[in-house]
Structure 1
Amino acid sequence: MSTDEVTAVILAAGEGRRLEPLTNRRPKPMVPVANRPLLEYVVEAVAAAGIDRVVLVVGYKQERIRNHFGDGDDWDVTIEYVEQATQLGTGHAVLQAEPVVDGPFVVLNGDRIVDAAAVSTVCDRLRDGDAPLVTVTAVETPRDYGVVQLDGDRVTEVNEKPEGPVDTNRINAGVYGFTPEIFDAIRATNATGELAITTTLNDLAERDSVTGVGYDGRWLDVSNLWDVLSVNAALVHDSDHARDAPATGQRVGDAVTVADDVVLAGNVRIGPNATLSGASAIGSNVTVAANAVVENSVVLPDAVIGPGAVVRDAVIAGNARIGPNATVVGGEATVVVGDSVHRGVTLGGVVGDNTSIGGGATLTNGAVVGDDVQADAGVVLDGRVESGAVVRRG
């Protein structure tokens, strides 16, 4: 069996609610880092591993994915689509690929960036007759992920986001190797509500039949808004991935400072005396006006950073307007996501699509402003501002 006979199934149906407002208009795998969607890096890793048949499991806002990737010709692969109409977990998502998969296959998450080597290694092990396979990597914060317990190379348990003490830093890296037998195993899993693939794997692990495959390459995960900045920075610093974005039609004013770790897309306009630095990505058709400062930020297409504005550690979504002399303060913040409180994360703020921040306004550390918000000049925006809100002075 060659990698030509292995299909890649990429799970890209999820909504990504923890990334709101960025996922209000786009599925999580289409959130851009270094000016390209997360999913594009995953497809490229699969192609680089020698796999030429890709099945994308799509659902939420799927037209954004279909329109971007089409039939896969631009990536030298053939892309087919299957729909997960209701997002009922990763196991359920894998099951949607059953009608189009009749041989060994690898499964990847569409929002988690790995090197081609992770895919190649799983393919090699599939060729040797091993399955099911789970890639295992080491991270600094294992309790945020699926902690993997091993006995040699046998997986004994995958514990999703454990609450108790963790005695290992090894986690599920999210690249799997399966044969079609996994479909019956998923159906046999006794689960209610959402069905995670790890539930099925734990059932199989009790029979000593799941093999762990070590992986120590690049592993970039976007779970929360601040991860967009850290993953963007990692990719911007990787010249193989960041420097191939289109850079035509740029208009750069006098005395502009653009650091080496800044990625500019096409048709960007930068006014005189502006300063761009700190692993920033500036999307297509963005305007950064005179004397503005953009540092360690991701600015999506068609946004405008007004004259004298200061934007640090921020994500500015599509077609947003940051008014003259407005400030996103930057630095560490405490951010509440659902029932969880995250302290000491680097997030100056997030501004949603089509939102307008008035001149002289301030976003305090960790502010998350939704889509279509109208904020008056001089206001202070703190915490979360719901989409569609109008924020007045006084």
Structure 2
Amino acid sequence: MKAVILAGGEGCRLRPLTNHCPKPMVPILNKPVMEYSIELLKRHGITDIIMTVHYLSSSIRSHFGDGSKWGVTITYSEDGMPLGTAGSVKLAEQMLTESFLVISGDILTDFDLSAGIQHHEDQLAAATIFTKPLDLPIEYGVLLSADKKMDKMFEKPNWSDLTKHSINTGIYILDPKIFTYLEDFTHYDFSKDVFPAILKHNEKISIFEAEGYWSDIGTLATYREAQFDMLHHKVNLPSKGKEIAKGIWMEDGVTIHDDVTLKGPIYISRNTIIHEGAIVGPQTVLSESAIIHEKSEITHSILWENSYVGKSCSLGGMIGHCQIQDHSALADMNDETVNAWREYTKRDS
């Protein structure tokens, strides 16, 4: 079976992180979030992958290339203009002659894809939607189903619409017949356009109730949360680092000088250097080749690759690339940020 990874979105809700970085490339513990999806597909025997790309596509192409580094084959389908989730897949129609899997490039999940594929084959459906219960589904498409067959869907519904909190996770298995409902070079969305068309033509849409972890890396809050869900063993996905002590994760090639204080949970990536007297953590991720100078303190922050923090600095709540000069104090601990950290800590305590 082939897979299509949707990797063309602009990630507007993650700005400014996505001003110069496509959303599927934002790092989760020093790996682009989409890299986890590629590894998951490989784990389930899916090695022929088509990526639909558009926004800042050159950075995606340069990182993943032909996919051989991950043991897969990647073919790129470039959208000349935004065509929506389904419209972009329509461009790759000639490469999709059998049932195929669609997954968003900006989600983090450890779902059992093989079980979903088997379910799809057993149900003889035109489409299978991976769903998951969620306590607060107001931001997502919600399915109302009976006997595991889709009856109705609300896209970002009102609370009065909800009778069952089962969300559309953006992972589908589709029969190529769905292309007959789509015109070339036209904007289509799976939830708003394709699935209603399938039902209108009395074709079957099956619901696969997946078990495991799923997160849409769509906001700064969910971006933060996913990092620490990984560190707290809530996600069955491999990271580059190892837990060398409780809550202290580290990759190879890290240099830590004397009198450094590490407060977990933290993640320190390779080629990072932490100088004397520095304090790192809690709730902090240092991506590859970060440099933290003497007597600086960093807490509740996610610093991207090649970040630099000078001497005697104090950082709190920072996310992204940082170049901080000596004796600086910076914090982005607004109410939303503080509440997000507090809620996460409360749930994990």
**How high is the TM-score relative to the length of structure 1?**
0.75
Structure 1 Cα separation of the partners of residues 231 and 63 of structure 2? 22
CA contact (8 A) 2:267 2:285 kept: yes
The residue that corresponds to 1:198 in the other structure is 191
Structure 2 Cα separation of the partners of residues 237 and 40 of structure 1? 20
Report whether the alignment pairs 1:184 with 2:165: no
Contiguous gaps of at least 5 residues in structure 1: 1-5, 248-257, 330-347, 369-394
Report whether the alignment pairs 1:349 with 2:349: no
Contiguous gaps of at least 5 residues in structure 2: 337-349
CA contact (8 A) 1:157 1:205 kept: no
Indicate which of 94, 114, 122 corresponds to 1:120.
Answer: 114
Structure 2 Cα separation of the partners of residues 168 and 66 of structure 1? 40
Query: Structure 2 counterpart of 1:361, which letter?
Result: A
Q: 1:212 to 1:59 in 2, by over 3 A?
A: same
Query: Structure 2 counterpart of 1:365, which letter?
Result: M
Q: 1:73 to 1:23 in 2, by over 3 A?
A: same
Q: CA deviation at 1:358?
A: 4.9
Task: State how 1:152-231 maps to structure 2 within 5 Å.
Answer: 152-165=147-160, 166-187=162-183, 195-199=188-192, 200-206=194-200, 207=202, 209-231=204-226
Q: CA deviation at 1:267?
A: 3.3
Query: Structure 2 counterpart of 1:305, which letter?
Result: I
**How high is the TM-score relative to the length of structure 2?**
0.84
Q: 1:21 to 1:39 in 2, by over 3 A?
A: same
CA contact (8 A) 2:29 2:287 kept: no
Q: CA deviation at 1:177?
A: 0.8
Indicate which of 265, 279, 282 corresponds to 2:265.
Answer: 279
Q: 1:288 to 1:195 in 2, by over 3 A?
A: farther
Q: 1:140 to 1:290 in 2, by over 3 A?
A: farther
More helix by proportion, 1 or 2? 2
Query: Structure 1 counterpart of 2:34, which letter?
Result: L
Task: State how 1:1-394 maps to structure 2 within 5 Å.
Answer: 6-117=1-112, 119-128=113-122, 129-165=124-160, 166-187=162-183, 195-199=188-192, 200-206=194-200, 207=202, 209-238=204-233, 241-245=237-241, 259-294=245-280, 295-329=282-316, 348-350=317-319, 352-353=320-321, 355-356=323-324, 358-366=326-334
Structure 2 Cα separation of the partners of residues 301 and 235 of structure 1? 17
Structure 2 Cα separation of the partners of residues 64 and 24 of structure 1? 13
Q: 1:22 to 1:287 in 2, by over 3 A?
A: farther
Structure 1 stretches of 4+ moved >4 Å = none
The residue that corresponds to 1:255 in the other structure is none
Structure 1 Cα separation of the partners of residues 331 and 325 of structure 2? 9
Give 3-state SS (helix, strand or coil) of 1:307's partner. Answer: coil
Query: Structure 2 counterpart of 1:310, which letter?
Result: E
Structure 1 Cα separation of the partners of residues 3 and 312 of structure 2? 48
Aligned length: 330
Q: CA deviation at 1:287?
A: 2.5
CA contact (8 A) 1:49 1:116 kept: no
Q: 1:133 to 1:286 in 2, by over 3 A?
A: same
Query: Structure 2 counterpart of 1:356, which letter?
Result: I
Give 3-state SS (helix, strand or coil) of 1:220's partner. Answer: strand
Q: CA deviation at 1:283?
A: 2.9
Structure 1 Cα separation of the partners of residues 35 and 61 of structure 2? 12
Higher relative contact order (CA 8 A, sep 6+): 2
Identity of counterpart residues, as a percentage? 28
Structure 2 Cα separation of the partners of residues 180 and 309 of structure 1? 56
Deviates further, 130-139 or 20-29: 20-29
Q: CA deviation at 1:204?
A: 2.5
Q: CA deviation at 1:208?
A: 6.0
CA contact (8 A) 2:126 2:177 kept: no
